[in-house]
Structure 1
Amino acid sequence: GAGFVGVLLIVRPGFRELDWPLLLPVAGAILWGGYQILVRLCSRTDTPDTTLVWSAFVAFGATTLVGPWQWIWPDAKGWALLLAIALLGALAHYSLIKALDYAEAGAVQPYSYTLLVFVTILGVIVFGDIPDRWTLAGAAVIVASGLYTWHHERRADR
Structure 2
Amino acid sequence: MTTHVHIADQLCFSTYNVNRLFNKFYQEALAPFKLTYPQYLLLMTLWENDHRELRDLVETLSLKSSTLTPLVRRLEDHGWVTRTQPTDKRRLIVSLTEKALASEAPIHSALKTCFGRHQLSLEDYEQALALNKKFIAAFND
Normalising by structure 2, what TM-score? 0.31
Q: Which has the higher strand share?
A: 2
Normalising by structure 1, what TM-score? 0.28
